[in-house]
Amino acid sequence: MHPRFQSAFEQLPAALRSALAPMLHAASFTAAFSAGQVDLLCQASGLQREALAFSLLPLAAACALAPISAFQVGAIAHGRSGNIYFGANMEFSGAPLQQTVHAEQSAITHAWLQNEKQLIAVTVNYTPCGHCRQFMNELRGAGQLHIHLPGRPAALLGHYLPDAFGPGDLAIDTLLMDEVQHAYRLADDDGAPLAQAALTAACRSHAPYSGAHSGVALEDRQGNIYCGRYAENAAFNPSLPPLQAALILMNMRQGDLSAIRRAVLVEQADAALTQWPATRDTLRALGCEQVERRLINKQI
């Protein structure tokens, strides 16, 4: 088991611990549980899904990287598939606070990158901030999304974000996590796998407001590749850059953010916005200097 889970794991009830141990020990553990694993954990612990998620929250929060606040937020996204996905906040020393990832964004993006089609609930250990409520409002059926907080009755996002501003106000009907396949190709395709991986991510990014689709691929010192897609938001500022999405996946898969060897950002040359300076600077703050910007064109 990754050492970050040890102390939270030790505080779980024995029945849950014994069912959970083989899952956490698996080399393939990705900070997510399949519907079948969730059923197994419910049976073994005697807990219902919601109570189980509350029990697992300290494990999700243990994934937090909070060098600035030391404040650990954990979230769990519940997919329609029955799978559940951990999320945790991530702060980056030496980069602007705007680059921070919130736990709710982490869990939702984690689910999206694992190809979950829709979310039914999010469990979180602190009340979601306004920025996260707005981020969640980008999802299909957002008003019906259940929010589970410790010590509070279950309520819908519509309760936490009444009179919401959202995609509909900008006449947008493609929502975050909807299946999309944008047709782009690399302007200068040299067959490099990292650029290809970033392109694949960009083709599934959510940028209905700017049309500035983008993707990032990271390679660590072991040769593992982590990809992230851009997730735009109707209110613009809560948008999650593609680098953050890739870092979420890397953190969830127990990767070491200080061991990123190379990175590629792909985006269009003539887009309304660029991810380049922020991507380069945040990666530099993480100790990665080998960052490339590759251009993509709409395929005609």
Ligand X SMILES: O=c1ccn([C@H]2C[C@H](O)[C@@H](CO)O2)c(=O)[nH]1
Residue 69 binding partner per list ligand X, Zn ion, none, with a CB distance cut-off of 5 to 8 Å that depends on partner kind? ligand X
Which span (101-109, 146-154, 158-166, 233-241) binds Zn ion, by CB under 5 A?
101-109
Give yes or no: 104 in active site.
Answer: yes
Alpha-carbon gap, residue 68 to 91, rounded angstroms: 7
Query: Hunting for tokens 């709710």 — which residue is that?
Result: 104
Identify what 257 binds: ligand X, Zn ion, none; CB under 5 to 8 Å per kind: none
List residues binding ligand X (CB under 6 A).
Answer: 66, 69, 71, 73, 89, 91, 100, 102-104, 128-129, 132
> Is 233 annotated to bind ligand?
no
Q: 269 is in the binding site of which of ligand X, Zn ion, none (Cβ under 5 to 8 A by kind)?
A: none
Residue partners of 40: CB distance under 8 A and separation at least 6: 19
| Site map (CB under 5 A) of Zn ion, residues 131-160, x = contact | xx----------------------------
Number of Cβ atoms within 10 Å of the Cβ of 247: 28
Question: What Å distances lie between residue 168 and 59, 163, 208, CA to CA?
Answer: 36, 12, 12
d(CA 254, CA 96) in angstroms, rounded, equals: 24
Contacts of 121 (CB under 8 A, 6+ apart): 50, 77, 78, 145, 146, 147, 148, 154
> Minimum Å distance from CB 78 to ligand X?
17
Stretch that binds Zn ion, among 3-11, 98-106, 148-156, 207-215 (CB under 5 A): 98-106
Under the criterion CB under 5 A, does residue 204 sit at the interface with Zn ion?
A: no
Beta partners for residue 109, in sequence order: none
Q: Annotation-wise, does 83 bind a ligand?
A: no
Stretch that binds Zn ion, among 10-18, 42-50, 130-138, 172-180 (CB under 5 A): 130-138
Query: Which amino acid is present at 159?
Result: H
8 A C-beta contact, residue 140 and residue 112:
no
Q: Which does 89 bind (CB under 5 to 8 A by kind): Zn ion, ligand X, none?
A: ligand X
Among 24, 14, 26, CA closest to 59: 24
191 Cβ contact partners less than 8 Å away, ≥ 6 residues apart = none
d(CA 88, CA 105): 8
Q: Which of Zn ion, ligand X, none is residue 79 near (CB under 5 to 8 Å by kind)?
A: none
Token pair in block for residue 58: 């300290």
User: Contacting Zn ion (CB under 5 A), which of 33, 56, 102, 109?
Assistant: 102
CB atoms within 10 A of CB 38: 18
The residue among 215 and 228 lying less far from ligand X, judged by its C-beta, is 228
Q: Which residue is nearest to Zn ion (CB)?
A: 132
Span interacting with Zn ion, options 18-26, 126-134, 153-161, 225-233, rule CB under 5 A: 126-134
Q: Is 42 annotated as a binding residue?
A: no
Judged by CB, which is closer to ligand X: 43, or 127? 127
Q: Is 179 annotated as a binding residue?
A: no
Residue 126: CB atoms within 10 A of its CB come to 18
Phi, psi values for residue 291, rounded to 5°: -120, 130
Q: Which of 10, 50, 104, 232 is catalytic?
A: 104
Where is the binding site for Zn(2+), in residues?
102, 129, 132
Where is the binding site for substrate, in residues?
89-91
- Catalytic residue IDs: 104
Enumerate binding residues for Zn ion (CB under 5 A).
102, 129, 131-132
